Structure 1
Amino acid sequence: MLRKEDFERLSHFRYRLRCFLRDSEDICRQHGLTPLQYQLLLHLKGFAGREWASVGELAERLQAKHHGTVMLIDRCQQLGLVERHPGRDDRRRIEVHLLAKGARLAEQIAERHQPELRHLQDEFGHPGWSELP
């Protein structure tokens, strides 16, 4: 059974998460991107082990439907942020690559997130927060 303290911790965590997301949305808009466009760029820049991702991998990272991810990639391609290439091993698989403009925006926006990330790490890094339900 959950205790009052469990609900307090969870409530505070969700509050701080929402504050972070709201600030992130504002930062993205100041750079002329939607939050989803930034997340796409971030996932391409941060994809482990390579410099591109497939549409399916991006859909998973974004927790979005395949067709919605394709539409997002279309818009980012129109803005000159990403480009598509046929897969190296499987030509049916589409690779999405970050272009220089997209990489610059991802870096600028990610840099603006660092102070809040450090603050959250300090706040939630202490032992009492590891017991979140």
Structure 2
Amino acid sequence: MARAITEEEYRALAGFRQELREFLSFSETAAQDAGLTPQQHQALLAIRAAPKAVLIGELARQLALRPNSVTGLVDRLAKQGLVERRETEGDRRRVPVSLTSRGEELIENLADAHRGELRRIRPLLANLLLRI
């Protein structure tokens, strides 16, 4: 039988969840300030993190979206000049997507801001995790 959760653990869990929500709020605001939706930001980050051009199907899996939704998302990012497709014959889900130089610059700036925020809250998160 699992031991009961202590009052301190409840406070730590609540604090950790609050910090996660505040980080997500920071992230959403940073994306919006850069002219992106949070979903577009996540897509750019996933594309940048991939070792090579990412396929629509793989991007859909990473974003937990349907491939047709990701196709529309990629279309909007391409219209902004942030990503490019390498068109191939056949299945649109097999189209490699990569960042343009403009997309690279934008995601680098956002990643730098996020890294700074995570470094700022790291001690607090670590402390909360130790208390759980």
TM over 0.5: yes
Cα shift readout 1:41-64 (whole Å, capped 9, x = no counterpart): 1111112xx232111221122122
Cα shift readout 1:12-51 (whole Å, capped 9, x = no counterpart): 111111101111111111111111111111111112xx23
Whether 1:98 aligns to 2:99 is yes
TM-score by length of 2: 0.83
User: Counterpart of 2:84?
Assistant: 83
Q: Percent identity?
A: 33
Partner Cα distance (1:38, 1:15) in 2: 22
Structure 1, gaps ≥5 residues long: none
Query: Which consecutive aligned stretches of 4+ in structure 1 deviate over 4 angstroms post-superposition?
Result: none
Spell out the pairing of 1:50-89 with structure 2 (5 A cutoff). 50-86=51-87
User: Counterpart of 1:22?
Assistant: 25
Partner Cα distance (1:102, 1:61) in 2: 19
TM-score by length of 1: 0.82
Whether 1:36 aligns to 2:39 is yes
**For the aligned residues, what is the CA RMSD?**
2.2
Partner Cα distance (1:121, 1:63) in 2: 27
Q: Tell me how many residue pairs correspond in the alignment.
A: 127
Partner Cα distance (2:17, 2:87) in 1: 40
Partner Cα distance (1:66, 1:42) in 2: 17
Partner Cα distance (2:52, 2:122) in 1: 27
Structure 2, gaps ≥5 residues long: none
